[in-house]
């Protein structure tokens, strides 16, 4: 059996590990546009100089050799010929028995004339981007980041470590609006501002000004003001990398459409990670890669961890984790507690946790995730919601037997 994996990120590497662990004889081929298997979560540490290129790798140095994986680096897939079971390149093909698409996501550039293609405008999705930002950032005087989500703040953090003082422009009124509530986000905003970062919140970028050499020299905002700029990083979101699948017959909507077994509509073709649009979480991508590999091997396993709103954040020594809803709706109950070292909030709907934010102290995060995932009613179990524990998660059947409520 020959397994081909396109993409060497979290999902792809996890799948390769699982395939080799379960089968000593199957052939495994990995195809990637990069020369290294690296963590995209660590790109900002490369920009800031905290790590070199080897330091952002998340596999052992001899990973491919020791696992007998043929690694085809610096290769760009042009299309998939599902009729003939072939992955196609400009200069050849690679046949497969089972195929996994794990190409991740790519930076999204807003449709602003003069933005995409400018010589000093970059996203941050690949090592190529990080190299360019680091190179140009070393000599830039006015650095602007569009987007105050997790990627935007990763960029800003790396630039701060370079000694730069970036300006971050964000349409929302708070930073990390998709990851945290306003209170938890403010903790990070204050830390970034103390370090020299400036934020322009509630602002929309309306246009860019370019010089004769094709470089952006300034951006214009919705209020009519301008920001000088000789390095611009766009971190306004990502989209699953699916454009190259247009003629493959593989159904794509928000991402590659998969069933509970991570199989596509085409026999013997699977997908995992950001390319599916199921989640942008690293742990979820790892789990999807493992599940997909098991199914490729004929070991049926369903993927059930479908939390699209699960985030982990760590800046300035402060960890945060959020699962589910960030803010309550009408009728919900919000319970929070805060002191100098932590901020924690849980959102209850009809007694069932639907969201939790933990900052500073993220212990018991797995417990809260299980409550949310299994829709466990915690009402009446304790007067203090923060004292609810696994011990409270047993019920009693009519016949007197104990029942585990997570089943």
Tell me which residues are annotated as active site.
41
Query: Among 101, 103, 161, 149, which Cα is nearest to 123's?
Result: 149
Instruction: Report how far residue 294's alpha carbon sits from residue 286's, in angstroms, rounded to the nearest whole number.
Output: 13
Cβ atoms 376, 407 nearer than 8 A = no
Q: Any residues with CB less than 8 A from the CB of 238 and at least 6 apart, and which?
A: 105, 106, 107, 108, 125, 151, 274, 280
Query: Among 42, 45, 58, 50, which Cα is nearest to 10's?
Result: 58
Token look-up 């000599």 returns: 139
Instruction: Report how far residue 251's alpha carbon sits from residue 276's, in angstroms, rounded to the nearest whole number.
Output: 11
Sheet holding 121-122, edge to edge: 121-122, 231-234, 143-146, 167-170, 198-201
**Cβ neighbours around 348 below 10 Å, total:** 19
């Amino acid at each position: 059996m020959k397994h081909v994996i396109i993409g060497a990120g979290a999902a792809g590497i996890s799948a390769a590990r699982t395939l080799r662990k379960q089968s000593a004889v199957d052939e495994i081929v990995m195809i990637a546009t990069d020369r290294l298997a690296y963590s995209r979560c660590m790109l900002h540490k490369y920009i800031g100089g905290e790590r070199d290129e080897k330091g952002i790798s998340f596999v052992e140095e001899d990973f491919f050799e020791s696992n007998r994986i043929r690694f085809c680096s610096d290769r760009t897939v042009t299309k998939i010929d599902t009729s003939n079971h072939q992955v196609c390149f400009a200069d050849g093909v690679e046949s497969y028995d089972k195929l996994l698409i794990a190409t991740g996501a790519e930076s999204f550039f807003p449709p602003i004339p003069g933005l995409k293609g400018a010589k000093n405008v970059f996203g941050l999705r690949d090592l190529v981007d990080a190299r360019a930002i680091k190179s140009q950032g070393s000599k830039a005087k006015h650095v602007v980041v569009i987007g105050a989500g997790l990627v935007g703040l990763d960029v800003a953090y790396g630039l701060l470590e370079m000694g730069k003082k970036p300006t971050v422009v964000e349409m929302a009124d708070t930073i990390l609006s998709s990851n945290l509530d306003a209170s938890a986000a403010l903790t990070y905003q204050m830390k970034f501002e103390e370090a020299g970062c400036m934020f322009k919140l509630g602002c929309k970028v309306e246009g860019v000004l370019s010089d004769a050499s094709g470089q952006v020299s300034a951006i214009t905002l919705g209020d009519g003001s301008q920001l000088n700029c000789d390095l611009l990083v766009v971190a306004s979101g990502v989209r699953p990398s699916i454009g190259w699948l247009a003629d493959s017959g593989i159904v794509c909507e928000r991402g590659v459409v998969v069933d509970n077994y991570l199989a596509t509509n085409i026999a013997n073709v699977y997908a995992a990670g950001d390319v599916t649009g199921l989640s942008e979480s690293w742990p979820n991508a790892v789990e999807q890669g493992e599940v997909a590999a098991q199914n490729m091997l004929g070991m049926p396993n369903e993927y059930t961890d479908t939390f699209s709103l699960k985030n982990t954040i760590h800046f300035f020594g402060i960890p945060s984790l959020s699962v589910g809803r960030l803010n309550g709706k009408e009728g919900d109950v919000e319970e929070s507690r805060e002191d100098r070292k932590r901020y924690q909030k849980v959102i209850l709907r009809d007694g069932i946790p639907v969201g939790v934010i933990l900052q500073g102290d993220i212990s018991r995060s797995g417990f809260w995730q299980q409550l949310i995932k299994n829709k466990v009613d915690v009402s009446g179990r304790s007067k203090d919601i923060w004292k609810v524990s696994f011990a409270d998660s047993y019920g009693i059947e009519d016949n007197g037997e104990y029942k585990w409520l997570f089943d």
